[in-house]
Chains A and B, each alone.
Chain A
Amino acid sequence: MREIKTVTVLGANGTMGAGSAAIVASFGKAKVHMLARDISKAKEGIEKAIGSVKTDTIRPRLIPGSYDADLEKAVAESDWVFELVAESYEVKEPINKRIASSRRPGTIVSTVSSGLSIERLSKAFDEDGQKHYFGTHFFNPPYKMILCELVSHKGSDKKVLKQLGEYLDKVLGRAVVYTNDTPAFAGNRIGFQLINEVAQIAEKYSDKGGIALMDAIMSGYTGRAMAPLDTADFVGLDVHKAIVDNLYEMTKDAAHSTFKMPGYFQKLIDKGDLGRKAGGGLYKMSKTPDGKKEKLVYNIGADLYEPVPKFDIDFIRQANRRISEADYAGAMDIVKEAKGFEADLARYFIARYVSYSLSIVGEVVDTKEMADLAMGTGFNWAPASAFVDFLGGPKDAIQLIEKAKLPVPEVLAKAKPGKPFYELKEKLDARSLFKG
């Protein structure tokens, strides 16, 4: 096991920076240099870190510092430099140069990026630095979401990759998903495909219920802790834009058009309605005249917020009931047989999610288990393979995908009948992700 005693975290004041530093200091017992633009921001990060894992015992291991005053010294004594500064080459590349100039041979440097090329970022380093350079994509909030996508590139050393993977898994308790250096990697590629396509269709059907209806159709019975558009609001519409714009530009797969961000997202971004962190986005909390909390939703057509309507959709009610009694296949049978516009959409989205999740096998990840783990532990969404089983097996899943006129992934087409398709049971009970 690789020994990691001292770590430098850059961007330590952000939610992800502080949360990741907390993981390293608590589970890894490492001394962590918490670097931010200035020392007061770094100190804020320390408080956030302690609050995130709820232990004061890490306080002595968290050392505040600023980029200007402390970067070189901190990097020089670190075994791992974990960079979480803003998501752009313009910010990351100059920082990388500074890291490269003070980095000791053998020190691992990794970046948190959901879209940038790891290989391009590695170029700031000498040969040893490139061998030790990776993407370590943690998810928000790191203590609760245990996924870490470990991204390697052409120049990374396989032995170091293995050591880092073991450390992330065994010491830091992460669910490690090994991915190739492809846009948005596994979790966000799959997750934002669905989110953005749901957002597009919400616009198309804005007069029928729009955002709220789409989230109702894609609610807990489809294996989600949080519905897709609620998720976009949670991560922030600006972050959503960065991810889907990058995917639209950098990928040309069969789902290419689904990465085009809908216009109303841009409209909200321009107004500063970035989502939950800005107090409003696709949804907004409000108070009724009698002081009760009320959730509002953005009406795309009318450009205003209105109370979230309650939809009474028979097949969803029936599916929920089946799930509340732990009858998952029964719930999917209801979805398969239901009639009407909402059921057509539900089937389409489920088919899309299964089809696209499994389509990245070979390009982004080596096995379907990696794609499943990414979605199960990074998004709290039921993995595609578990859906296949609840839908009745590969044959039934293929039928659903073909009816939706979507590509049948090779890994599904080649599946052996009569065997469970989902193989991560010992790691993740997918049933827990279906909400009744």
Chain B
Amino acid sequence: MSEKVYILGGEQTDFQRNWTKEGKTFMSLMREAVQDGLASVGITPDEIKKLNKQNKIGIFVGNFDAEQYATQGHLGAFLTEVDPAFYGIPGGRFEAACASGSIALDAAATKIRAKDYDVAIVLGIEIMKTVSSSVGGDFLGTAAYYEKEAKGVQFPFPKLFGKLADVILERYKLPEQRFMGALAEISRINYDNAKRNPKAQTRSWFMNKEHANARGGEYNMAVGGRLCITDCSQVTDGAAMVVLANKSYTEEYAKKRGKKINTIPRLKGWGHRVAPITFDAKVAESKGDKYILPWTRQTVKDAYDRAELGVKDIDVFETHDCFTSSEYAAISAFGITQPGKEHEAIEDGVIDLKGKKPINPSGGLIGVGHPVGASGVRMMLDLYKQITDTAGSYQVEGAKNGLMLNIGGSATTNVVFIVGK
């Protein structure tokens, strides 16, 4: 990489909150996330104004569907409503379904690597509880090929990821009960981890493996083939913000705080690949391949190659568990196991908080919540916390390198970042 990209920190909103019920607007969600984030990083409006004068700061907003959920577009310019310090700062909105936050991060990192900006403010944001779950489900269908995969389908995404579960079972000839038990364990781990996370949507919800395994019936309804409510992340309002910076700015930033630059995490690697958009095309393309989602695997490999690291070097993972089946497939994509053997890592406690390769200590999308456009930025914030040893009760001890995988659609847009010191 030509210019190193550092992460100075950030903040997320409490994903338990329902902003509509609070009688608050989309803008208020943005305002709290940005103000909290800047306060946490320690960047003042005056500092922003100074950077803006030199044209050395940019705004990158990741959002999927504010037009439909909140009747609001033009989000890159919307921070001007938060604070007049944002007047004049170049800003844009980035969209790639559930990977929107990550491609905003990618764009921001690119501008820093290209030496255009010293500092980038990246905000991921989504408000979703403005509409009923069935209307929201239809909105989310636009992240698939709407005409072919979502039109007239109630809750299309659980069905697509239910199909992924079907293909995993068939391709690897797994015993069904064992596979479904592994998916239940993924739920159990994410909910357990979320209980330690004070910003998690589900931190006071009841869940255990017994309940996650009791699929069907009134309390754990089937929503997508073999996937039930406990296999799904839930509709969530939320925003997350991080600040990225180049080396010289970070050096100054660290110096002012009596720190050394090597205590500040940086992006070590990245990957970004797009797979065929329909799920059927993905499956057709991957026939004969070890991986059902080869482009997801390729994205991880790209990031490993750029970082010159391998799975052995990664101490903590944040992955896109929009559904248990997506986390299942991610395990082999990371290289933790061979494809088809993911259940072994789950059963052996490898991905548990105290396991050898902990996945989603934050609780992941199932536990923390999944405000779609915010998820990528939230994952980056969680990696920042892990690498700086500030994750509190969900800290993975001694984490030096972390990897995040954020996917949009049915594993269509794949984005991976590796963060370390």
Chain A residues within 8 Å of B, Cβ to Cβ: 26-27, 29, 53-57, 143, 146, 173, 220, 320, 323-327, 426-427, 429, 431-432, 434-436
> Contacts of B208 on A, CB cut-off 8 Å?
26, 29, 57
B222 interface hit (Cβ, 8 Å): no
In the complex the two chains form, what is the Cα distance from A195 to B24 in whole Å? Answer: 26
> Given the known A-B contacts A325-B28, A426-B198, are A146 and B204 also in contact in the complex, defined by CB atoms under 8 Å?
yes
Contact A325 B214 (CB under 8 A): no
Report the separation of the CA atoms of residues A320 and B28 in the bound assembly, to the nearest whole angstrom: 13
Docked-complex contact A56 and B14, CB < 8 angstroms: no
B residues touching A (Cβ–Cβ < 8 Å)? 13-14, 16-17, 21-25, 27-29, 31-32, 195, 198, 203-204, 206, 208, 210-211, 214, 217-220, 392
Which A residues touch B219, using CB under 8 A? Answer: 54-56
Is B206 a contact partner of A324 (Cβ separation < 8 A)?
no
Known contacts A173-B195, A429-B14; A220 and B24 CB within 8 A of each other: no
Using A146-B204, A173-B204, A326-B31 as known contacts, say yes or no to A56 and B25 having CB atoms under 8 A apart.
no
Collect the chain A residues with CB atoms within 8 Å of residue B214's CB. Answer: 55-57
**Which chain B residue shows the least CB distance to A326?**
B28
Q: How far is the CA of A55 from the CA of B220 in the complex (A)?
A: 8
Is A429 a contact partner of B23 (Cβ separation < 8 A)? Answer: no
Are A432 and B22 touching (Cβ within 8 A)? yes
Specify which chain A residues have a CB less than 8 angstroms from the CB of B14 in the assembled complex. 429, 432
Quote the shortest CB–CB distance from B236 to chain A (angstroms). 14
Give the residues in chain A near B210, CB-CB below 8 Å.
57
CA A435 – CA B27 in complex, angstroms?
15
Residues of B within 8 A of A56 (CB): 214, 217-219
Residues of chain A within 8 A of B25, CB atoms compared? 324-325, 436
Task: Give chain A residues whose Cβ lies under 8 Å from the Cβ of B217.
Answer: 56
* Subset of 9 A-B contacts with CB under 8 Å: A53-B206, A55-B211, A55-B220, A57-B208, A323-B23, A323-B24, A324-B28, A325-B24, A436-B25
Chain A residues, Cβ within 8 Å of B198:
426-427
Return the 5 tightest CB-CB contacts between A and B, nearest first. Answer: A326-B28, A436-B23, A326-B31, A429-B14, A26-B206
Known: A55-B214, A326-B27; 15 extra A-B contacts, CB below 8 A, are A26-B208, A54-B206, A54-B218, A55-B219, A57-B211, A173-B195, A324-B23, A325-B24, A326-B32, A429-B13, A432-B16, A432-B17, A434-B22, A435-B22, A436-B28
Q: Whole-angstrom distance between the alpha carbons of A305 and B392 in the complex?
A: 53
- Whole-angstrom distance between the alpha carbons of A90 and B14 in the complex? 45
- Which residues of chain B are near A326, meaning CB under 8 Å? 24, 27-29, 31-32
Name the distance in Å between B393's Cβ and chain A's nearest Cβ.
10
Give the CA-CA distance A436 to B22 in the complex, in Å: 6
Residues of A within 8 A of B211 (CB): 26, 55, 57
Min C-beta distance of B362 to chain A, whole Å: 15
| Given known A427-B198, A429-B17, A432-B14, contact A55–B206 (CB-CB < 8 A) | yes
B10 to chain A, nearest CB (A): 16
**A434 and B23 alpha carbons, distance in the complex (Å):** 9
Cβ distance B126 to chain A, nearest Cβ, rounded Å = 16
Q: How far is the CB of A426 from chain B (nearest CB, A)?
A: 5
Say whether, besides A57-B211, A427-B198, A435 and B204 are in contact (CB < 8 Å).
no
How far, in whole Å, are A51 and B365 apart by their CA atoms in the complex? 26
Output the residue of B17, B204, B220 with the most chain A CB within 10 A.
Answer: B204
Residue from B14, B204, B206, B219 with most neighbouring chain A CB atoms (10 Å): B206
Q: Which residues of B contact A427 (CB under 8 A)?
A: 198
- The CA-CA distance from A396 to B312 in the complex, in Å, is 56
How many Å from the CB of A19 to the closest CB on chain B? 12
Kindly provide the distance from the CB of A5 to the nearest chain B CB, expressed in whole angstroms: 16
**Of A220, A323, A326, A429, which is in contact with the most chain B CB atoms at under 10 Å from its CB?**
A326
Closest residue of chain A to B31 (Cβ to Cβ) is A326
Instruction: List, in ascending order, chain B residues with CB within 8 A of A55's CB.
Output: 206, 211, 214, 219-220
What are the residues of chain B within 8 A of A426 when measuring CB–CB?
Answer: 198, 392
In the complex where A56-B219, A325-B31 touch, is A435 in contact with B206 (Cβ < 8 A)?
no
User: How far is A57 from B233 in the complex, measured between Cα atoms in Å?
Assistant: 21
B16 cross-chain contacts in A, Cβ below 8 A: 432
Q: How far is the CB of A380 from chain B (nearest CB, A)?
A: 11
Q: How far, in angstroms, from A413 to B217 measured CA to CA in the complex?
A: 57
Residue of chain B at shortest CB distance from A27: B206
Q: How far is the CA of A429 from the CA of B218 in the complex (A)?
A: 32
Residues of chain A within 8 A of B28, CB atoms compared: 324-326, 436
Bound complex: CA A26 to CA B392 (Å): 26
A residues near B13, Cβ cutoff 8 Å? 429
CB closest residue in chain A, given B81? A325
Q: Distance (Å) between the CB of B289 and the closest chain A CB?
A: 38
Contacting residues, chain B, for A435 (C-beta < 8 A): 21-23
